[in-house]
Structure 1
Amino acid sequence: MTQAKDPLHGITLAAMLTELQAHYGWEGLAERIDIRCFKSEPSIKSSLTFLRRTPWAREKVETLFVRLRDGRG
C-alpha cells in the first residue's frame, strides 16, 4: 500500500482517539469497541497506553476512524 492511499498516513493514534472521542463520546466508543479502557474511568492517556500495547484493539480503533472519515461511521 502506498502512502498516498493509506488513510492513516500522518495521523497519530492520539489524534485518531481524540477525534473519535469527540464524535462518539466514551459511551459511544465503548458500544462500538468493547474494551475496558473506554468503559471504566476512560481518559485519552489511559486509552493510548492500552492501545499502544494491544494491537487487536488498536486495529479496531483505526478501522472505526477510517469508517468515520469515509462517512460510514
Structure 2
Amino acid sequence: METQKNNPLHGKTLESIVTELEAHYGWEYMGHQINIRCFTQDPSVKSSLKFLRRTPWARSKVEAMYVNMLKKQSEN
C-alpha cells in the first residue's frame, strides 16, 4: 500500500478521471490533445469509457493527461 501513496491515479476510477478532465478542459480540447472519436464526435462519458476500457494506448494517454492536469493545478 505505501508504494501507492504518491500515485495520483491510485483509487481513481476511469469514470472519475474522464469526468474531471471534461469539466476542466472540455471535450473539444481533449479531442485536440488526444485525437479519438469518442472525444471528437458526439462525445460522452459513456462512449469514452467503453472505448478507453478496450484500448490500452488511449487509456494511457488519458491517464497521462490527468496526471499533467493535477501537476499544473498543484503548481498554481
Tell me which interval the TM-score lies in, with the shorter structure as reference length.
over 0.9
TM-score w.r.t. the length of structure 1 is 0.93
TM-score w.r.t. the length of structure 2 is 0.89
> Equivalences for 1:39-58 in 2 at 5 Å?
39-58=40-59
| 1:7 and 2:8 aligned | yes
Structure with higher Rg: it is 2
Aligned residue for 2:18?
17
Segments of structure 1 that go 5 or more residues without pairing to the other structure are none
Where 2:43 maps in the other structure, the secondary structure is coil
Aligned residue for 1:38?
39
% identical aligned pairs: 57
